[in-house]
């Protein structure tokens, strides 16, 4: 485990804390959108790499897919339980493998390593994989878990080397903490179920949501309520984005917490479920609707064709067409 944390330190030393984002849009040559208005735009979304803002991410339908922080690589699992790691620029494959255990979770460690979660019989296995050396390492095996348990989330800081591992099912969860010395322990929490743990990059501050849609923050060994009737959305460096819920449990507005200050980012004209919201690194919000998505930066609503299937996974918007998976960047 110490070896694993040293690897993260080395990765941190090599890479910067800059998160890349894209400002290009799906464009129709005839579209006209006036400032201050939100007008539906007809867009032909297909497989062409030349479509601005759309990138081919996987040549297969996927059970899960994750994009590296610099948006250069994709890791995905197809319906044959095969893990593929590809370059987004040209779909060249860097690595592929399969496993006797079901691959149930993926999480990038910066841009060249992965957390891989596997599900066995009454056990969960956490591994890391380093792409350059193609070395795989087992970090921990969680035995005696229920048949419905899985890896729900992993939050980590590349600067403090704290790692939080959330496992469980739809009714009960347990959080494990790996500290800077590589020691793993069960994290004492006042809640039997939590979700969406997110951690600031340079501070050991952990946010999570309880079963009643309250956000809590853990800092300096103390747990405090951060916000009632709210849901975590995204973290970029030390900026934490969260949604305020209406009476129907939909996100009505998006806020940002940064350097101790809370500020409103956007009021949504039509409240939506949090699973349909993407927050970009520059604060741009993409809102997925029934047959379109809205870009808060441009004020444009992009219409989607009838034969695409859309979904949001780990704060990224994707669509599937002709059995291929595409990443929508803007």
The residue among 252 and 6 whose pLDDT is bigger is 252
Assess contact for 95 and 77: CB atoms under 8 A.
Answer: no
The residue among 233 and 188 whose pLDDT is bigger is 233
pTM for the model stands at 0.83
Looking at residues 12-36, what average pLDDT do you find? 29
The Cα 140–Cα 185 span in angstroms is 12
The Cα 141–Cα 294 span in angstroms is 42
The confidence score (pLDDT) of residue 38 equals: 35
Q: What percent of the chain has pLDDT over 90?
A: 67
Measured CA to CA in angstroms, residue 193 lies from 139, 184, 208, 272, 323 at distances of: 24, 20, 10, 23, 36
301: which residues sit within 8 A by CB, 6+ positions away? 38, 39, 40, 41, 289, 292, 293, 294, 295
Other residues' Cβ atoms within 10 Å of the Cβ of residue 166: 20
Q: What percent of the chain has pLDDT over 70?
A: 84
Instruction: Name the band, by pLDDT with cuts 50, 70 and 90, for residue 291.
Output: confident
Mean pLDDT, rounded, of the chain: 84
The confidence score (pLDDT) of residue 225 equals: 97
The confidence score (pLDDT) of residue 179 equals: 87
Backbone Cα Rg of the chain? 20
The Cα 155–Cα 90 span in angstroms is 30
- The pLDDT tens digits for 296-329 are 999 999 988 878 889 999 999 999 988 999 999 8
Assess contact for 296 and 25: CB atoms under 8 A.
Answer: no
The Cα 213–Cα 13 span in angstroms is 37
Looking at residues 26-44, what average pLDDT do you find? 33
- The pLDDT tens digits for 109-159 are 889 899 999 999 899 999 999 998 999 999 999 999 999 999 999 998 888
Options 3.40.630.30, 2.40.70.10, 2.130.10.10, 3.40.50.720; CATH for 2-328 is: 2.130.10.10
The confidence score (pLDDT) of residue 204 equals: 81
Looking at residues 154-181, what average pLDDT do you find? 91
Does 105 have pLDDT greater than 80? yes
Cα-based angle 190, 159, 234 (whole degrees, multiple of 5): 60
Other residues' Cβ atoms within 10 Å of the Cβ of residue 184: 14
Q: What is the 3-state secondary structure (H, E, C) of 184-205?
A: EEECCCCCCCEEEEEECCCCCE
């Amino acid at each position: 485990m110490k070896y694993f944390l040293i690897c993260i330190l080395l990765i941190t030393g090599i890479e910067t804390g800059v998160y890349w984002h894209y400002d290009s849009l799906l464009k129709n040559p005839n579209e006209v959108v006036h400032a201050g208005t939100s007008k539906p735009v007809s867009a032909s979304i297909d497989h062409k790499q030349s479509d601005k803002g759309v990138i081919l991410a996987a040549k297969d339908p996927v059970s899960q897919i994750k994009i590296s922080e610099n948006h250069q690589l994709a890791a995905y699992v197809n319906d044959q339980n095969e893990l593929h790691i590809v370059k987004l620029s040209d779909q060249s494959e860097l690595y592929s493998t399969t496993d006797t255990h079901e691959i149930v979770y993926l999480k990038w460690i910066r841009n060249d390593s992965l957390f891989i979660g596997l599900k066995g019989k009454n056990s969960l296995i956490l591994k890391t994989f380093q792409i350059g050396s193609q070395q795989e390492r087992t970090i921990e095996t969680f035995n005696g878990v229920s048949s419905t348990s899985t890896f729900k989330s992993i939050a980590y800081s590349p600067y403090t080397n704290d790692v939080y591992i959330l496992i469980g099912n739809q009714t009960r969860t347990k959080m494990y903490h790996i500290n800077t010395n590589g020691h793993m322990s069960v994290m004492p929490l006042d809640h039997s179920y939590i979700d969406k743990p997110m951690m600031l990059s340079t501070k050991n501050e952990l946010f999570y949501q309880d079963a009643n849609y309250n956000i809590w923050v853990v800092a300096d060994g103390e747990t405090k309520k951060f916000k009632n009737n709210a849901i975590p959305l995204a973290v970029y460096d030390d900026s934490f984005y969260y949604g305020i819920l209406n009476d129907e449990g939909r996100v009505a507005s998006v806020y940002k917490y940064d350097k101790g200050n809370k500020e409103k980012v956007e009021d949504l004209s039509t409240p939506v479920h949090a699973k349909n919201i993407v927050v970009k690194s520059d604060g741009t919000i993409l809102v997925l609707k029934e047959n379109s998505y809205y870009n808060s930066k441009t004020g444009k609503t992009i219409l989607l064709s009838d034969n695409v299937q859309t979904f949001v996974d780990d704060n990224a918007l994707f669509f599937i067409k002709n059995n291929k998976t595409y990443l929508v960047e803007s």
